């Protein structure tokens, strides 16, 4: 019989963030999958998809905390169902929960659902508060959004290059901006 493995899955919302705390919390793992992006569903996270495809019966998927595995209750239920069908246990290190594929303790499953629902609700409240704060700041004239990376002179130089027929991708590359930012600059009224 093949040996079982402890497989780790760690995730941060952007490449600038650090996985060290999650890796330290999880400890030993035979294989580790690292995700550097934020996505609402498991299907939009390639490393999670690989981890789910990799694990097999008897393995344990170790995650630092519940919110690192799923962003919604629906997503959590889908992931847990897939792992249960494969015979894989899931360990949530920070919460001290291990969900076993045999159905295990119903209280543990209930706790998982409650914690996931609370985390989802918390994310939604944070988003709502942020939107309200931005609306209030805009109404007071305080919120202006992100500052431009280029001044009017640089933007005019980009317009001149575009008028000369220089490809937009080249202009964007030369100025260190994305093409979408270039198009936004080109669409702004001239000052």
- Which phi-psi region, left, alpha or beta, contains residue 126 (left: φ > 0; alpha: ψ -120 to 50)? alpha
**Segment holding 31, helix H or strand E:** strand 31-36
Full pLDDT tens readout for the chain, 191 residues: 568 999 999 998 876 788 999 999 999 999 999 998 776 666 788 999 999 999 999 999 999 998 899 878 888 888 988 998 999 999 999 988 888 887 667 777 788 788 878 878 887 888 888 888 888 888 888 877 777 778 888 888 999 999 999 999 999 998 888 888 888 888 877 65
Other Cβ atoms within 10 Å of 105 Cβ, number: 12
Contact 58, 87 (CB under 8 A): yes
Catalytic residue of the set 13, 121, 131, 178? 13
For residue 104, the model assigns a pLDDT of 66
Q: Is 38 a catalytic residue?
A: no
pTM over cut 0.95: no
């Amino acid at each position: 019989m093949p040996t079982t493995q402890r497989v780790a899955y760690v995730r941060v919302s952007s490449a600038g963030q650090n996985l060290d705390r999650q890796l330290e919390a999880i400890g030993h793992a035979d294989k580790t999958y690292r995700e550097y992006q934020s996505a609402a569903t498991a299907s939009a996270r390639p490393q999670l998809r690989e981890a789910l495809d990799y694990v097999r019966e008897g393995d344990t998927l170790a995650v630092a905390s519940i919110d690192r595995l799923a962003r919604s209750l629906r997503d959590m239920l889908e992931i847990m169902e897939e792992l249960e069908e494969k015979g894989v246990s899931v360990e949530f290190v920070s919460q001290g929960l291990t969900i076993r594929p045999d159905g295990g303790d119903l209280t543990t499953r209930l706790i998982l659902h409650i914690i996931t629902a609370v985390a989802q609700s918390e994310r939604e409240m944070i988003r709502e508060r942020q939107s309200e704060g931005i609306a209030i700041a805009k109404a007071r004239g305080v919120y202006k959004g992100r500052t431009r990376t280029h001044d009017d002179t640089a933007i005019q130089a980009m317009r001149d290059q575009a008028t000369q027929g220089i490809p937009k991708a080249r202009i964007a590359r030369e100025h260190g901006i994305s093409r979408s930012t270039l198009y936004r600059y080109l669409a702004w009224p001239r000052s």
